[in-house]
Amino acid sequence: DTCRNFHCKRGKVCHADKQGKPHCICQDPAACPPTKDYEHVCGTDNKTYDGTCQLFGTKCQLEGTKMGRQLHLDYMGSCKHIPPCTDYEVDQFPLRMRDWLKNILIQYYERDLNTSGILTEKQRNKVKKIYQNDKRLVAGDHPVELLLHDFEKNYHMYVYPVHWQFHQLDQHPVDRLLTHSELAPLRASLVPMEHCITRFFQECDGDRDKLVALKEWCHCFGIKE
């Protein structure tokens, strides 16, 4: 089987020609394996796909067209009505997400005190300094003014959580750039602000190359160079 170790990118499958030479061709969306309801995904065309196989197969078939370039994985789950994100909400987004990331890491650290395994030793050492800081805000729905004040007063506590989340998302491939697909998992966690994610990261993408670089990510969250 010449296709056994022949790798094709997402949306394509290996096909051997008459001479047995392997080639990558577009995945037929109709031939994708059946999926459960919870595996459905929403594309940036606001259309629900049965799974990522169907979405990326469709994108491949549209290769070379404007529609194909614009189609990405928007978020996990079936498409739903998402209200527009106001200017006020998009200004709030980095404040609330910074606070959320900091508290996520603190929760991981607390769990690791009993049974280690979520964070690496290096990560635990970094989060320990945040955990031991008496000035930290506990998780909760804080006023914007308090979040802004805490960021200015305890800036050093927010730097690592922002970097940590970037590297958690930067997985396919690990290239210090975040694609639409890599950003998609954030939606499941940020339900109250999910309707602002697309707009926020579009505005983060300063050079409009459809990718969020580490420098752009940090700038969006107010982390200094």
For 29-165, list the strands marked E by DSSP.
Answer: 41-43, 48-49, 73-76
Of 34, 57, 76, the position where a domain reaches its end is 76
Is residue 51 located within the same domain as residue 101? no
Query: Is 182 part of any domain?
Result: yes
Q: Are residues 60 and 135 in the same domain?
A: no
Q: Which of 52, 76, 100 is the last residue of a domain?
A: 76
- Are 147 and 98 part of one and the same domain? yes
- Reduced to 3 states (helix: H, G, I; strand: E, B; else coil), residue 74 is strand
Residue 31, domain extent: 12-76
Residue 37 forms part of a structural domain: yes
Instruction: Please tell me whether residues 123 and 205 are part of one structural domain.
Output: yes
- Residue 32 sits in a domain whose CATH number is 3.30.60.30
In this structure, are 53 and 31 located in the same domain? yes
Q: Same domain, yes or no, for 155 and 215?
A: yes
Chain centre to alpha carbon of residue 105? 17
Per-residue pLDDT of the chain (225 residues; tens, 9 = 90+): 788 889 999 999 999 988 889 999 999 999 999 999 889 999 988 899 999 999 999 999 999 998 998 899 988 889 887 788 899 989 999 999 999 999 989 988 888 887 767 888 889 889 998 888 867 788 788 888 999 999 999 999 999 999 999 999 998 889 999 988 888 777 766 766 778 888 898 899 999 998 999 999 999 999 987
Is 36 inside any structural domain?
A: yes
**Structural domains of the chain, count:** 2
Angle between helices 87-114 and 197-204 (to 10 degrees): 100
Asked if 17 and 105 sit in the same domain, the reply is no
Q: Whole-angstrom distance between the N-terminal and C-terminal Cα of the chain? A: 51
Q: Are residues 149 and 216 in the same domain?
A: yes
Q: Pull the structure tokens for residue 149.
A: 């004040």
Residue with tokens 């404007």: 66
151 lies in some domain: yes
Residues 51 and 104 in one domain: no
The verdict on residue 20 lying in a domain is: yes
CATH number of the structural domain spanning residue 133: 1.10.238.10
* Residue 167, domain member (yes or no): yes
